[in-house]
Amino acid sequence: MIEAGPQEKALLNSQGSQLLRKQLDRCSEGSFLLTTFPRPVTMEPMDQLDDEEGLPEKLVIKNQHFHEEREQPPRFAQPGSFEYEYARRWKALIEMEKQQQDQVDRDIKEAREKLEMEMEAARHEHQVMLMRQDWMRRQELRRMEELHNQVQKQKQLELRQEEERRCREEEMRRQQEETTRPQQEGFKGAFPDAREQEIRMGQMAMGGATGINNRGAMPPAPVPAGTPAPPGPATMMPSGTLGLTPPTTERFGQAATMEKIGAFGGTPPALNCAAPGAEFAPNKRRRY
């Protein structure tokens, strides 16, 4: 039984394997024609699989074209005839197509295997390149980390040296201060401060002036005749001994002189009062 399928192919079912082998040999040696068109049928063994499907001949739609193709029953072409000649040529073309298809399949298979090998080699090379790049990146990171550590160590060393230098300077300054402090204290004890000396002299001058004024307020004691007058305050207390400078104003000078003279009971000297415009030279006579 022949089962027709798409692409001008059909399945030939036989009851026995020996009969099928004989039919295969006859179709291979001769030219078996199914239709009026002199294109022979090629037969090849095929494994029967459960998923194979075909269309039985009894189910083929028998239209006008089918009847035209089947005007002559299936037969073998007679050698030397027109059908036989073109049937042989068709068989040669089919064989060449099969060989070329096999060659193409082999070429495609070889090309596929070659491409897979190249792809595997390229993939391996790419992985090696990635590993090399990763290794170089790690080396660069390690080098940068070492450089950073060196810089940090250098900075720490500089900071430590600076701290040690500062500590040495502080220690030297403290030792110098401890060395010079006793000398300064001894110098201050031997020579008091000028400000303190002025304050003490001012207090002494104020105390002396107060004592003199108190003595001047008392009544004068009787003085025997022929006894020289006692020395005045100017003689008793020269200005240089107290370290004070007497006032230079004439007005205050006269008042102080009169006060001192009255205190000691002496006769006040005559004041040199002259009229306005008079000349005060001793060798000049007054003009009237």
| Residue 151, pLDDT score | 94
The answer to the question of residue 272 being in a domain is no
Residues 107, 61: contact at Cβ < 8 Å? no
* CA angle 246–252–256, rounded 5-degree value: 75
Q: How confident is the model at residue 212 (pLDDT cuts 50, 70, 90)?
A: low
| Residue 27, pLDDT score | 81
Span 36-91, pLDDT tens digits: 777 788 877 776 665 556 667 777 788 888 888 888 888 888 888 888 899 999 99
Alpha carbon separation from 11 to 29, 44, 48, 94 (Å, rounded): 19, 10, 10, 18
The answer to the question of residue 93 being in a domain is no
How many domains does the structure of the chain reveal? Answer: 2
Beta strands in the chain (DSSP E): 2-5, 9-12, 32-33, 40-41, 55-56, 75-76
Most confident of 46-50, 156-160, 274-278: 156-160
Q: What is the DSSP letter of 58?
A: G
At which of 169, 189, 204 does a domain end? 169
Alpha carbon separation from 41 to 44, 84, 91, 95, 113 (Å, rounded): 10, 12, 8, 12, 35
Domain around 159: 102-169
Which residue, among 42, 44, 32, has the nearest Cα to 83 in the 3D structure? Answer: 32
Q: How confident is the model at residue 240 (pLDDT cuts 50, 70, 90)?
A: very low
Average confidence (pLDDT) over 244-251: 49
Would you state the torsion angle of the CA atoms of residues 113, 115, 119, 125, taken in this order, to the nearest 10 degrees?
100
The answer to the question of residue 165 being in a domain is yes
| Residue 70, pLDDT score | 83
The answer to the question of residue 37 being in a domain is yes
* % the chain with pLDDT above 70: 58
Estimate the crossing angle of helix 194-217 against helix 250-264, to 10 degrees.
50
The answer to the question of residue 236 being in a domain is no
| Residue 164, pLDDT score | 94
The answer to the question of residue 257 being in a domain is no
User: What single letter denotes the amino acid at residue 124?
Assistant: H
| Residue 12, pLDDT score | 65
Instruction: Classify 191 as helix, strand or coil.
Output: coil
Average confidence (pLDDT) over 254-276: 49
Would you state the torsion angle of the CA atoms of residues 196, 200, 206, 207, taken in this order, to the nearest 10 degrees?
160
